[in-house]
Chain A
Amino acid sequence: MTAFAPIKTAIRSPRGGVSAAVLLLVVVCALFAPLIAPYAYDIQNLPGANTEPGAAHWMGTDEFGRDLMSRIIYGARTSLSVAVTAISISVAAGLTLGAMAGYFGGWFDRAVTAVVDLTWSFPEILIALILIAIIGPGLESTMVAISIAYLAQFTRLTRAQIMALKNETYVEATTNLGAGHFHIIFRHLLPNALTPVIVAGMLATGDAIILEATLGFFGLGAQPPTPSWGAMMSSGTAQIFIAPWIIIFPGLAIAITVISINLFGDALIEALDIRNRLRSV
């Protein structure tokens, strides 16, 4: 009950409510794509290529005559699953690394901080590109690349939280009752440090969608015919003067999704009253 109270407060605020509704729509599209999409995403119809938006194809068709709306609905699947999986891996790894570094300190902390600060000094896109250049393009490597690109952020955030929390009296009191490191980290420190990390994770999911689209735009993400918003925009560049809707609609999908995530994240920060703690990075 208490855990969901901030989410309720966030949804009650105007921007939180609107963004939550949009996000819900995107998630429903991703989950039930086969039921919602009017056409299959990979059936080509060359005579009907570059059809303008109309009654049959609400968002028009692409250069192979595929229904654009169906591809965008399926594309939500790719974008969301890649972004959410990548950020989940990143958050889990960042929490573990950051907690260990912050709690134990010493050489382990110095090593982790050095590596993390090194990756922190490059833009995420550059790290992702380097990693994909090493492991090769594709859906899985996009996930791996994105999760490593955002690892620094969560490690730093967690480490800062843990370093502040480990001197709390209740942690000392638990040690005095004979609790071990494992118990202290997982039962007391991480639960107390979790809130800002979850919100940062939520905001990073928005960034990750953009990063996934960027990689897709470069042809390094999902490979055809899997629909990906970034790749769809990329193919739309060639038709931009003949069929501008091919690049406009996927672009809108990306923009609306990311803006909604950010707005909801903002509402959540407000509801949780943690702006100061997020700034500790």
Chain B
Amino acid sequence: MALLSVQGISVAIGALCPLEGVTFDIDKGEILGLVGESGSGKSLTAMCVMGLLPRIGGTITKGSIAFDGRELIGLPEIELRRLRGKRIALISQNPMTSLDPIIRIGAQIDQVSILHLGLSATTAKARSLDLIAQLRIPEPEAIHRAYPHQLSGGMKQRIIIAMALAADPDLIVADEPTTALDVTIQAQIIQIMVELVRDRGLALMLITHDMGVVAQACDRVVVLYAGRVAEMNGIGEIFAEPKHPYTRELIRCIPRLGQEPGSLKGIPGVVPSIVDYPDGCRFNPRCSNAQALCRDEAPALEPKSSGLAACHFSEV
């Protein structure tokens, strides 16, 4: 049975409907990539899983989210709080501001295991030092005593990963963990995070818009477009044989070494606005293959020769 199973969730924020029928699951020890452009609903999906939607005034109107066999939708806040950090941990986008500026780094990591595992201050500290070392930060003792402003962005992001790992969660949701960092640091952080997750047999939901990160880290990929799942497939299949034209375009957009100068293309058109989604398949205005059927009828997410895709003409 899947560790996390998201079945056809739709989200409403006021009159808007930013997510529609999003479905995927994550097994224990699996790394699932969630890709899509800005505004496609990646972060919102993460918020659904963490039970944080009410904070931005959203509600889940349809579907179910089961974690370890337990339905999360409708769970009271106090129960959700017990899951957050302890069973499901979130690594946020912005390492620069995600640490309390006036509390020492060490105390911030310690408090997670004190809070969730009931450790004593000394055991918690030993555990934090161990975690800092595992994240390949030199001089763990010095870092444990440091304040956030003394650390670089890459260091802070590692500390945030340490905080996420501190209570031994089963699932980590990483919402664009390296977007704010230098490209050189990005690859390194992803690698360390993936290694730690693999070592511990944890499940990771990695949200990104970087297909390079996906190729480096993930077992399976879910492609979101305009609030719907466009395609879901294994990492090998999705790069070798994308079923959805949007995925094809995304992969075509990855710059390659030795590419002819000026030949790098974007996807024509823009992401449709949430207040004015096109009828039928939401990708149809940008799709080179769009037919009359695509404008009239939204394609269902169906099994293809491998994986699932929502396209009427995926085998074309």
Contact = CB atoms under 8 A, between A and B. Distances in A.
Interface string A173-192: 11111111001000110011
A174 B115 CA distance: 11
A176 B85 contact: yes
Nearest to A179: B115
Interface in B240-285: none
Nearest to A189: B100
Q: Which of A170, A178, A183, A188 has the most CB of B within 10 A?
A: A178
B52 interface: yes
Contact of B90 (A177, A180, A191): A177
Nearest to A195: B102
Contacts of A183: 111, 115
Contacts of B98: 169-170, 172-173
B84 A177 contact: yes
B116 A178 contact: yes
B156 to A, nearest CB: 11
Q: Which of B94, B97, B100 has the most CB of A within 10 A?
A: B100
Contacts of B94: 169
A103 to B, nearest CB: 13
B86 A178 contact: yes
Contact of A168 (B97, B115, B163): B97
A179 B112 CA distance: 8
B85 A177 contact: yes
Nearest to A174: B100
A178 B85 contact: yes
A172 B100 contact: no
Given A176-B84, A188-B103, A191-B102, A169 B115 contact: no
A178 B52 contact: no
A104 B247 CA distance: 44
B81 interface: yes
B192 interface: no
A178 B102 CA distance: 20
Contact of B163 (A177, A180, A188): A177
A67 B313 CA distance: 104
Contacts of A172: 92, 98
Contacts of A176: 50, 52, 84-85, 89-90, 92
B164 interface: yes
Q: Which of A169, A173, A180, A188 has the most CB of B within 10 A?
A: A173
A192 to B, nearest CB: 6
B206 to A, nearest CB: 16
A172 B164 CA distance: 14
Nearest to A171: B100
B82 interface: yes
B6 interface: no
Contacts of A169: 92, 94, 97-98
A78 B99 CA distance: 44
B103 A177 contact: no
A180 B114 CA distance: 13
B50 A187 contact: no
Interface of B: 50, 52, 81-86, 89-90, 92, 94, 97-103, 111-112, 115-116, 160, 163-164, 167
16 contacts: A170-B98, A173-B90, A174-B100, A177-B84, A177-B163, A177-B164, A177-B167, A178-B81, A178-B82, A178-B84, A179-B111, A187-B103, A188-B100, A188-B103, A192-B100, A192-B102
Given A173-B92, A178-B82, A188-B100, 12 more contacts: A168-B97, A169-B92, A170-B98, A173-B98, A173-B99, A176-B50, A176-B85, A176-B90, A178-B81, A178-B85, A187-B103, A191-B103
Please name the 10 residue pairs, one residue from A and one from B, whose CB atoms are nearest each other, closest first.
A178-B85, A177-B85, A178-B84, A169-B97, A176-B90, A173-B98, A170-B100, A169-B98, A188-B100, A178-B81
